[in-house]
Amino acid sequence: MQDILCQGIALLLIVMNMKKKLSVIVKEADEAVQIQVGEQPSLSDKDEIKINHMWMAMAMDVGTRLWLGGVVAVRRDQELISSLAHKVRACVKSWNFLLSVDGLSSYVSVFMSVFSWLIFTGRSGRPKRQTVPGLMIVQVIKEYAKGRVSGVVRRIVLGSVDTVALALKNTGCAKINTSFIERLNATFRGRSSTLVRKGRAIAHTESENIKYGMYITGCSYNFCYFHNSLRVLAPEGSTRKWIERTPAMAAGLTDHRWTMKELLSYKVHPQRKILIIHG
């Protein structure tokens, strides 16, 4: 069983090695980040899932609904968010995208740090870090009263009003929201018993089991299940009205829906390691 689980994890390399223009949603256990990437500025948001004393952060492509990967950790700290940010950075080809996060301030600082470069001036002291041009960050802050949401504040942290509006238009959103990532939250909770809000599952305290379950759920979601929002009209003369697609099909990773046997038995070639010898 361990080999099967590891095989499912290895399958994620297909997604993480994609060098395509992606629309991405980044999500963290009780908060999520939604990101879309493309030729034109596009959208992103954020949300989270908490499993008792564990936290799960995940990323999703908005346009294709493709799950990009996730991170499980005991603490909801900068290390968790940084791991998530680096996964997003490894997946996207263009850094021209809109990142939408909730009120957690560390999301803004971490993503601005990961998506930046150092500027060396030749002077003494630490080089200046500059955020890459094209990155936009917006924040969705929910206000609560007596345990219920009483209001929502939306503000632009990085970028102009016009570019943010264009990014929203490209994703078909009238306003900044976290609906895509919240729906993905519900999908994972429904398919993995370790993510239920109340239960006696022993895996609630075992991060490895939660991580394996996350990969199996995410990979099967990508390759084995059709997504209603991804279907397209069939060509004229066809006996069907719609052509159903999985997220992996929409992303161009495959041309058919996979079975679970096909998914778990797929062999992924290990990543090549380049050894640099000095001298």
Please check the confidence at residue 249 and state whether its pLDDT lies above 90: yes
- Return mean pLDDT, the chain: 76
The residues pairing with 50 across neighbouring beta strands, listed in sequence order, are: 55
Give the model confidence (pLDDT) of 115-140 as tens digits: 888 888 778 888 888 888 888 888 88
Question: Pick the residue with more confidence: 47 or 259?
Answer: 259
User: pLDDT exceeding 70 applies to what percent of the chain?
Assistant: 74
Question: Pick the residue with more confidence: 147 or 250?
Answer: 250
Reduced to 3 states, what is the DSSP secondary structure of residue 177? coil
Give the model confidence (pLDDT) of 59-78 as tens digits: 787 778 888 888 888 888 88
Number of CB atoms found within 10 A of residue 133's CB: 7
Q: CA dist 181 to 32, 170, 208, 214, Å?
A: 6, 17, 23, 15
Q: Enter the tokens of residue 146.
A: 């007596």
Max Cα separation, the chain?
Answer: 71
pLDDT at 199: 66
| 49 within 8 A of 195, measured Cβ to Cβ | yes
Query: Given pLDDT bands bounded at 50, 70 and 90, which one contains residue 206?
Result: low
This prediction's pTM? 0.76
pLDDT at 243: 93
Query: Given pLDDT bands bounded at 50, 70 and 90, which one contains residue 224?
Result: very high
Which stretch of 22-31, 173-182, 223-232 has the lowest confidence by average pLDDT?
22-31
Q: Enter the tokens of residue 84.
A: 């998530």
